[in-house]
Amino acid sequence: MEQENRNEVNLEERYRLASQRIHEICAEETVPAPFCDYFQKTARFLVQMEDLKNCLDSGAAQDYTLRQWEQLNTALYYDILPEQYEASYANPAHAVGTLGEVHGRILSFLYAELRGIIVYTFEQRFEETVVLLELFIEIYNSFEQEELPTYRDIQQIVYWFVSDYAELFAAHRTRSAIDPELDFATRIVMDSDLNDPRYLYRYGEYVSENERKTAEYLNRLSEEEIAAMADTFTEGYRIGFVAGGKDLSIKKTVNIRYHLGFERMIRAAIKNFEKMGLRPVIYRAAVSTVNKSQNQRIGYTGAAANLQYDYDHRADNAIYLDKRFVERKLGVLRSAYEAEKELAKEHAGPAVLEVFGETPFVPETKPEAYHLSEKQQKLTAEMRNELARLSDQYIPGKERSFTIIAFPLPEIGPDYEAIFRETVRINTLDYKLYQGIQQTLIDALDQGEAVHIKGKDGNRTDLMVALTTLSDPKKETLFENCVADVNIPVGEVFTSPRLVGTNGTLHVKQVYLGELKYVDLEVKFKDGLVKDYSCTNFPTAEENRNYFKENVLFHHETLPMGEFAIGTNTTAYVMAKKYRIADKLPILIAEKMGPHFALGDTCYSWEEDTMTYNADGKAIIARDNEISLLRKEDPSKAYFGCHTDITIPYEEIGFIEVVCADGRRIALLRDGRFVLPGTEKLNEPFEEAKIC
């Protein structure tokens, strides 16, 4: 305790000295132009953070009106909003254009990293704030010398900063994923008056019309409607454990991820989970470069103030990423897990509420932004694998599960409330009905040695997917009958294809993967591995290939086809057509609206040795492929830490046929319609909606 008190006093003194120096920088002109403007503006932002801290610490913000909270929130994120971004130092293009090629890019990184102080201040994570202030001052001091610092000078300051404070940032991230005592967000959900929209601003996240209107809409729903949404969410989670033959009773925590505005449903879900013996663990999407995973946002989130800003800074770790840092980070995380191994073992896995409806984002790839070198790309891929191994070591896949559900945001358009109600209906479709129809599909698929998928009307797909051989068809099956448990809504049958013999072309005219748009996407497979790929988003083939490699292959030279599935949720497809929102649906729903193919790990990664059964009692034996089997010799060669689904919409399907060893072909779909006897009911939504 005495040591903790000394550390706290030391931090207070460091903060006082740093704050005093930053106030001086606001008015100083001791560094040459154009850097003086950069440092003065950044220092003023840091003074703004001091004012925020004082306001929150004193309790003054508790009495803020809604209008005052809105003004504060806008002020915090003003500089990176699209209207201001072109002239912001957070924009690497502006920073390089103003400060030069040598210094602009890395100073843009510094500015972006300092913006993490916003959320550190709200969470009262004082040490993170102090070390970032000291980083800013150290770099400022280097510009006060007679000669300008070289890029190497600044890069080394940043390198040793992220290395020295890896425990602070990365270890806290690990603990926040498993320790329910870190309850900043939980307390907002459970203790706030959710009828008072001011609670939305207490997270420190950017709050847009989406979050405000979502909260308003949920507040108009009855207790019964909220309970039904929460029950679907939490019951899917529970069923996931039952279906997987896993013991939920030995678990004590569940990670809940959601979007701001859904707190009323999340509160009901937390109460449901508590009845299962699970306490909530709720952590924010990462803001530190040490913890970010490209431009992905994993955790609870508010609005993205500017998706282009996120995209511009997705590879900022190029500044310091080398083998030594990777070893340092992995060592820190291993120690963090070891220190909290009991908490880790008790963790049950994530329950995720996704959202959809935002205006589709088409990024601009800026040469001024950081990009990983080929060596760094390889290191990133290796690190993802090692991080997955580490997680599985302390939170074993064979003992955990998950569930995912999705709801629309108001940005989806004037039909928001109708789409929301329709989404609730889709999320609660009769899974018994689908289970029976999907079993009919599986019975046909189990007769085959391959499946032939052919596109039509400009879709160039011509793909043969090889299937595992059944040894005992009476007791074994190849496809999982997926209903509304871990993946809500209902509607797919899936397998891990055999790689050898999986050949051909996958093509989609337009698709969104990880919120990024791909036009005329074509992927060629040779024995189940990606052999070639292209799209037409950008003017040059090189730009298009780099875009796909970075955001779908995740810097691997190739990936296997880890999953082949047939989506059966024609009701969701009709909703997408009716409201013209197919381009806004998340993969969670989109994958149920046609055949889809996942690049990366199988659906059973890290759980291949856990026997899984369908409702008919048959064992699902296609849990491996030729690459995942390498785990028995070298796990680093068996896993990739990614799984990206690419769906072909029904309207682009010419046929899907099961190819049997005796030469028979069993038609499952033809011209976008289900033709296998016993599956005709899946066509009824098409007919009712009069979709050709």
What digits encode the pLDDT tens for the residues 256-281?
A: 999 999 999 999 999 999 999 999 99
Q: Which two tokens stand for residue 593?
A: 């609206």
**Are 175 and 167 contacting, i.e. CB atoms less than 8 angstroms apart?**
no
Task: Tell me: pLDDT of 515 over 80.
Answer: no
Q: What is the pLDDT of residue 336?
A: 95
Position 78, amino acid = Y
Q: What is the pLDDT of residue 641?
A: 83
465 Cβ partners below 8 Å, 6+ apart? Answer: 450, 451, 452, 453, 497, 502, 561, 564, 597
Task: Tell me: pLDDT of 304 over 70.
Answer: yes
Q: In what order do the strands lie in the sheet with 665-670?
A: 529-534, 516-526, 498-513, 462-466, 450-455, 653-659, 665-670, 673-674
Report the pLDDT averaged over residues 97-103.
97
Closest CA to 43 of 15, 24, 30, 29: 24
What is the rounded distance in angstroms from the CA atom of residue 36 to the CA atom of residue 28? Answer: 8
What is the rounded distance in angstroms from the CA atom of residue 598 to the CA atom of residue 605? Answer: 13
Q: What is the pLDDT of residue 432?
A: 87
Domain locations in the chain?
A: 2-164, 176-351+370-396, 429-507+523-530+566-688
What is the rounded distance in angstroms from the CA atom of residue 374 to the CA atom of residue 64? Answer: 50
How many helices, marked H, and strands, marked E, lie in the chain? Answer: 25, 19
68 Cβ partners below 8 Å, 6+ apart? Answer: none
Task: Tell me: pLDDT of 388 over 90.
Answer: no
Q: Name the pLDDT band for 232 (thresholds 50, 70, 90).
A: very high
Q: What is the pLDDT of residues 609-658, one digit of tens each?
A: 888 888 899 999 999 999 999 988 888 788 888 899 999 999 999 999 99
Task: Tell me: pLDDT of 692 over 70.
Answer: no
Strand residue runs (E) in 409-515:
450-455, 462-466, 476-477, 480-482, 492-495, 498-513
**Are 668 and 676 contacting, i.e. CB atoms less than 8 angstroms apart?**
yes
Q: What is the DSSP code (8-state) at residue 168?
A: I
Q: Which two tokens stand for residue 217?
A: 């809409």
155 Cβ partners below 8 Å, 6+ apart? Answer: 106, 319, 320
Q: Name the pLDDT band for 6 (thresholds 50, 70, 90).
A: low
Q: In this structure, are strands 347-356 and 403-408 parallel, antiparallel, or unpaired?
A: parallel
Three-state SS for 156? helix
Closest CA to 113 of 302, 314, 287: 287
Closest CA to 286 of 73, 134, 119: 119
Report the pLDDT averaged over residues 385-403.
91
Q: What is the pLDDT of residue 609?
A: 85
Closest CA to 553 of 583, 532, 567: 532
Q: Which DSSP helix (H) or strand (E) runs through 226?
A: helix 223-243
Q: Name the pLDDT band for 7 (thresholds 50, 70, 90).
A: low
Task: Tell me: pLDDT of 197 over 90.
Answer: yes
Beta bridge partners of 453: 463, 656
Q: Name the pLDDT band for 331 (thresholds 50, 70, 90).
A: very high
What is the rounded distance in angstroms from the CA atom of residue 148 to the CA atom of residue 139? Answer: 11
Q: Using a CB cutoff of 8 Å and minimum separation of 24, what contacts does 378-383 make?
A: 378/555, 379/321, 379/322, 379/323, 379/326, 380/321, 380/554, 380/555, 381/554, 381/555, 381/556, 381/640, 381/641, 382/326, 382/636, 383/326, 383/329, 383/330
Task: Tell me: pLDDT of 5 over 60.
Answer: no
What is the rounded distance in angstroms from the CA atom of residue 106 to the CA atom of residue 129? Answer: 20
CB atoms under 10 Å from CB of 370, counted, come to 20
What is the length of the chain? 692
Beta bridge partners of 643: 600
What is the rounded distance in angstroms from the CA atom of residue 251 to the CA atom of residue 247? Answer: 8
Least confident of 90-104, 286-300, 362-376, 488-502: 286-300
Q: What is the mean pLDDT of the chain?
A: 94
Q: What is the pLDDT of residue 540?
A: 94
Least confident of 176-180, 575-579, 655-659, 684-688: 684-688
Share of the chain above pLDDT 70, in %: 98
**Are 522 and 648 contacting, i.e. CB atoms less than 8 angstroms apart?**
no
Q: Name the pLDDT band for 4 (thresholds 50, 70, 90).
A: low
